Amino acid sequence: MIDKQEIAAQYQEIQDEICRGLEQLDGTGRFEEEIWQREGGGGGRTRIIQNGTVLEKGGVNFSAVFGKLPEPVKRSFKVESDDFFATGVSIVIHPNHPLVPIIHMNIRYFEMNEEVRWFGGGIDLTPHYVYEEDARYFHTHLKSVCDRFSPSFYPRFKEWADDYFFIRHRSETRGIGGIFYDRLNPVTAGVGWNEIFEFSKAVGRSFVPVYTELVNRHRNEDFSEQQKQWQYQRRSRYAEFNLVYDAGTKFGLETNGRIESILMSLPPQANWVYNFSPVPGSEEEKTLQLLKKGIDWAK
């Protein structure tokens, strides 16, 4: 098993690679970095990009924290001890263009002792408008990453993402999903620790090529004010999920994490329209019809 400090060091390298790739993709935007320390143990590097050519707001954050788990988290994890170590990279990008999708990625490692440790993570896409060819490209790319490690990974983790990124009070998925996994160890994964770590890094390194392709497909297309308003409305659904259901948000708040880093996932602007009903036959209606579980985008 690779040492936890080595995992953290390699996650930092991935953070560096992704920031360089996103700056190159945007063209003008540059990341600002804040180094922070957590009261109780550890810290991280928060990197934020704002008001770029196409990236309106985004964060690529690294953290490595340790200390004592709060009682609610201990009960949730069903553990007796309370010493923990957690490290990971978390990304959310909100574009300024309504035809370019929101994207989220997270890779992480959690450890309490030799018996209680696991990897988690995933990557998912939230288009303001669902383009079926983009959805197929995204999921086919993720399947190819998963298949390098186990043929069971993509179908398992795709279903997990469909279930996890579901806004229950809206009865709709947050976007077109992707892959999501948690508590991955040799027993639950069917492969060894080294392979799980390599898979985690492969997921991280899939981010730049897949998002670069999707951004460049749409960044130069014209859009209307109506489409811009729809973007703000779809952002509100993203915010609802992150504030109500997201496990990472809850964990960060319950372990005394850095508030600015935890809530960097929220968009710069979102609108809530009362009792909205899309025009029949419109692109907005089509998108809502595709925000559901179980669509086989990689077929």
Nearest to 206 by CA among 152, 148, 164: 148
Q: What share of the chain is helix, strand, coil (3-state, %, to 5)?
A: 45, 25, 30
Active site residues: 104
For 128-131, the CB contacts below 8 A with 24+ separation are 128/98, 128/99, 128/101, 128/102, 128/227, 128/230, 128/231, 128/234, 128/235, 128/287, 129/98, 129/99, 129/227, 129/230, 129/283, 129/284, 129/287, 130/175, 130/176, 130/286, 130/287, 130/290, 130/291
How buried is residue 43: exposed, middle or buried, by Cβ count under 10 Å (0-12/13-18/19+)? Answer: middle
